[in-house]
Each structure stands twice: as C-alpha cells, then as structure tokens.
Structure 1
Amino acid sequence: MLEKETIQYEKAVLAGIITREQDEQKLSEYLDELEFLTYTAGGEVVKRFSQRMEKPNPKTFLGTGKIEEINLYIKEHDIKTVIFDDELTPAQQKNLTRELNAKVLDRTNLILDIFAQRAQTSYARTQVELAQCQYLLPRLSGMWTHLERQRGGIGMRGPGETEIETDRRIVRDRIALLKEKLRTIDRQMGVQRSNRGAMVRVALVGYTNVGKSTLMNVISKSEVFVENKLFATLDTTVRKVVIKNLPFLLSDTVGFIRKLPTQLVESFKSTLDEVREADLLLHVVDISHHDFEDHIASVNQILQEIKSNDKPTIMVFNKIDAFKPDVIEEDDLVTEKTTRHYSLDEWKQTWMNNVGENNALFISATNKENFEQFREKVYEAVRQIHITRFPYNNFLYPDYKDNHAEEKESNDE
C-alpha cells in the first residue's frame, strides 16, 4: 500500500522589534500575519523573538544580546531560516547572515517568494521577476560568497569588470528588458480594456485572504482559484456579470497587505490599472479577523497611492458566518470591554452605520447569506452609473428615459 505523501515544512523562527510607533500588541499582530505568510510559503514557525528598541540597529537590526540568543536557539534546534518582520537593508542582511550562519529573510523577501510560487501566467511571472530583480540589485554583494571581496593587488589587475560589477550589469540589463516586456503587455491590455465597450466596470478590492475570489465565483458563476492562504490570486480575472437585465464587468484583483513591498506596487501597477479604471469599487473586508480595521486602513492607503480613493465604493463585510467576538466572563472584573468584544449588531452601530448612503453590507460569500441584498445594492449602484453615463440612450430603463424626456421638454418650453 502506498503511503500518503506528507508535506515537508521548512522550520523557521521569526524576529521583530517593539518601538514607540509599534507596541507589543501591534508587533504580535504583525508576527501573526508573518507566521501565516511563512506557512503560505511552505514554512513552519517554531519560535518568535522580539526586542524593545528605540530604533533598529543599523548594522544588525537587533542588539548583540538578542542575536546571540537567536543564534544559540537555532543551533540547538537545527533551524536554518530566520525571518524578520521589517525590510532589512543590504548591510543588515549581510551581517545577520554572517552572525547567524543561516538563511536570513525579511518580510519583503518572503512576500516575493510567495508571489513567485503563485504566479501562473507569463504576465504575472514577468511582474514578479521584475520585483525580485529590483530587490536583488542592491543586495548582490551579500548573495554569493565569491562576490564578498573584490580582490586587488599583484596578479589581480587587468582589463574588464570585477565580478560584482558584471553581475550588477546583468541584473540591470534584465530589469530594463523586463520593463520593456511589461510595457508591451501593458499596451496590449490597454487595448483589451478599451475594446470592452462602454459597460460599467466594477472591481473587487481588499486585503489578502478576505474572500474576494469566493465572492467573484458566486457572483459570476465562474471558477476562480480559491484557497485559505495569502495571495491565492495574483492575476486579474475579469468576467461579464448580469444582474437582472443589467450587464457589467467584474474584476478580481490581487490582495493588498500591510507593509506591501514598493517593488511589488511598481511591478504590479498595470494589474492595479483595473482598479484605477473601475467605475465602482467593492471593498471586501474579513469582519471575522480581529484586526480588520487596520486592514481597511492599509487598503485605503494603497488606494490613495494609486489615486483611486475617491471612487464610489460599497463596503462589503464578508465572513459574518465566522464572526466570533471575544467574550468577557461574568465574574471577570478586570477585563475592559474593547472593540474585540463587540457583537455584530454593536459593530453596525459604529462608524459602519455612517458609510456613505448606507453603503455597508454584511454577507457570507461561502453560505450566500444576505446575498440578495448584496445583489440589489450592486445593481442599484451600477444602474446609477449607467444612467449617468447614457442619460438619453438607455434601452434598459425606458421609464427613466421617458420621464427624463418629459422633463427636458418642459425645460425647453
């Protein structure tokens, strides 16, 4: 009998710092996310390390005492990977690799690795490779041992470039080639977008793993890849959707994340063009996640960076079936009630109640709970955009057209 194949996870430890800007609770939340990222990449976190500091050590990020503690632990438990929550400078990464004698990654490196695993199409792979090259270029001197020293002296003088400069030139040439390839694909995608006609465009946006692809599948009855891991979807999927008698285009975009690497924002800018060119945004939020307000803020920040924060938006609070607030025991006189203890009804009475013109919906895409209300709200929003765009040429809404014509005649008189 064949034995069931088991996945071998790479053991790793995490490290982060507590500062005035990032307290212990915030670091714990970031490390929770980093652990999920590690799991998505194929790793298993066995321990976390943290240190309270005014600011990161410019040479080794952490203090010498904490590095010795990590070094001792990874040697005793035969762990070869250490992952830091913040982006390391090339010098920090090189020094830490030497001190710990282990593979040292930062959050950016980890996200790029996940993107490389998840990229399915040629376009996504090109975008990821560009981001990786841009990340790699300033770190070349620390990547290979034969490049650590540029030797000089007798017998070492001669024509040509040093090895490090040769490799840098190769990477720069590769970056230029990838950028040109992306520009060509961008032009092709721009033509495709312009050929989609005058249909209203709706884009699903939100933090990674909030259920955008599941919602896409339910609305469009398509088969978009869904998995309970971060960045399951990299390629933008566009589907034609019809609600009642109204057709529109719905696109599922790559999920956002806190501390999103700038290289990825740059290389995925054409994917984000689907968001820029959308007429309506459906901002999907995982309300069952205890830190969903921070997720909303992170998404809004990226929308602002790509100049899409002023678009009509419907807030879609998903996963209400999984929503479980923390419970305060009756005899607990110490715990103070916070937003973590709010019920769903209590949340609805907060700022959510004031989201423009009642534009907040509470659904479960998996169970299709409150789905008819969701469809009706999206239909009305798309209909208003369609009417505004085609006020006198609207075969879909004859009543509106006739009334509008009567108003026009009375104004002419």
Structure 2
Amino acid sequence: MFANIEDVLARWPAEEHWTVSGARDRVADLLQRFGDMEQLYRFWATVRELRFPGTYGQTPWPFSCRLAHLVFDVSNPHQKLKDDIERYRDSSDRSLVESCHEELRALMALENRMIIQDPHRRFADRVFRALGQALQEGPQPVRLPDGHILERPLYAALVCDGIGSQTVPMSAVLALPPNPLEGEVHLFRGSYPGACGDEPVTSVELRSLLPSVKSEPDLSELARIYLTSIGGIAGYAWGDTRGADGGHGAEKLTHLVLLGYAERTGRTEPNPLGGSWPQVAVTPAGASAIHTAGILPALARQLSRGTALLQRGEGIDEFDVLTGAIVASSGMAPAVMRVDVAELQQAFPDEAVGERDYEIPEVCYLDFSGAKVMADWTFRDENNGTRPSL
C-alpha cells in the first residue's frame, strides 16, 4: 500500500500533469496510462477512498476515476452513459453531453483492449471457431487499414464478453489472397463489418489461427466423407478438436471451410467414442479438389468399395455402387460429381447396381455446379433390359 497521498500522486500524477503530444485527448491519455484492466483496477482500488483536503471533493484524476467507477461499480455502464446522454440532451450545458460521449468512447476503447488482451486466448479461440462455422457476405463494402476496399467482404460473426453485463457483437472480415494462409483477419465491432462505423479493432494473420495447417489442405477426411456417405454429408472426425490429440482436426476443417471445400450443416453425428463430430457437406469445389488430388482410387481400394463403370463420350467414370461418388475417371476430369444410385436402383429393380456398365443418358446425377441432371427417359425405354453389359 502507498504510505500517503504524495506516494499515490508520484505513482499516478494528476491528469493535468500527464505528458501528451499535440492536442490533449483524454481517451488516448487514459489508454496510455493504463495498459490493461488490471492496472486500472489497481489504480481504482487505491484511490477510490482517498480524500483531498481543500479541494471540495475534487480528485486529481476526474476522468480516470469516472471511467473506473463505470467499469467496476456499474452493472451496465454502456446503458448508464446512454441514459445520461438522453437526460442531458436538452440541457443548456452542451459540455455534459459531450463529456458522456467522450466517456462512452473511452469505455468502448477499454472494452476493445480487454477483449483483445484476454490472457486465456479466448478471443483468438472465438475468432477461430467463428471462421470455422460459416462465412457470410457483408451487406456493404469495407475499407481495410491499408486503404484497400473489399466490395463484397466475407466475414464470420462472433460474440465476446464485454464490460459489465454487456456482450459485444463482432465480425471477423477475411482479406484472402490466392493462398488463404497468407491472408489477414480484421476484427470489427458490430454484427456485420462496418456496422458501428469504426476502424477495425485489431487485425491478425490467419496463419496464427491455424498454426498446424500446411500450405496444401488435408483432404483425406473430406475424401472419406465424399466417398462413403450418401450425398457427401457426414461427421468430420475430430472436427471440433484443436491440437495434436485430435490430429489438429479442427484446424484442418476450418482451412477446408475457408477454401470453400466443406460446409458445416450445423448438426452433429455420433462417433465411435461415445461423443459427436460436426456434420459437414462436401461442396462441388471440394469434390473437384479431391479428384484433382487423385487420392480416391487408393482410398476406395483400402476401404474395399464396390464400383461400376459409367460410359460417357470423352471417357469412362468409375463410381461407388453404394453412394454414387465418382472414384476415378479416364481421359478428362469427370463431368459427373455423384450418380444417384438410389434412383438408379428404383429405375432398374431387377438388377443390382454394378451388375453391368451404364451409359450417361440412363443415369441421374449431380454435376460439378451442384445441379441435378435427369436421365434420358427415352434412352431408358429403348434400352432397359436389352442392352448387354460392355
């Protein structure tokens, strides 16, 4: 504890003696003097009961004490200041309203710092989790700190703990170059970027949120889902688990979501361990990336998947007889993403899928735009039950 008032003033000089450059900005002064909330609390715990004889109750730190009181003694300081602004709006003393606005600006600045400086890395984890859920397109252009304007910004929404009972909606805006890992995430206050009209609160490198991810995405788990599940939708193993215990599954899945290769459905599926894994859908872009990587034939052999052949003009596709996923193609890349094997079995009930080869006009399938292409019914009528296997 400090022995006397002189010791306190030596530690925290009166605000009128604070060293500033240029025009005095009490908010900037406050942030400079108190680097984090712990420092502000120590100040407030020391000075709140001090009395200064001959000052008629005045304190050497009027602005700091007012902010500390709002932060530590008021349950909803934001609403308190907004109510004060309304009460003073018709007052002849405009300085009262201006003072409340200044205090509100300082309160938000302290809150921003508190959120970012979270010693338990909850802020970084919240940003990571938000990015891994889903991306939205912003309703208006966003200007980045370097002056670049994102006309159609992609962002993820998140909510952080604020001062008092306040929660703070925020939006994480992605500025993605061709290699997303070289991009940045810019954090704005507000439920969508620019909602509060402010500059970003902070910016972080995307790579720092995905430390285990290499330059190329890990497609192995996504390929398993594409190959073995109906519709390419299934639980992603360890998709919510960060760190080595889950093989960095959460980081890998978030990378795939950012690339547009996978989408979370918002549901979960039971796993063999008695827990659950997040359900994801393989997107057309993800299926294309899996085919380009050339990992499906080996995976199909490893899992002993039965396949059938699909003839098309420029080549032959090999597809899984249970899920319809294209396993391999000859010649050009496949135009078919997935054969509708359930419809095929219904159309030809007297034969099991895979007992013969097929031609593309007689199957229903999804193409790589995600559109459903229907079978040629005339071709089916003319060939059903009479065309020999090729």
Task: Provide the TM-score with structure 1 as the length reference.
Answer: 0.27
State the structure with bigger RCO (CA 8 A, min sep 6), 1 or 2.
Answer: 1
Greater strand content: 2
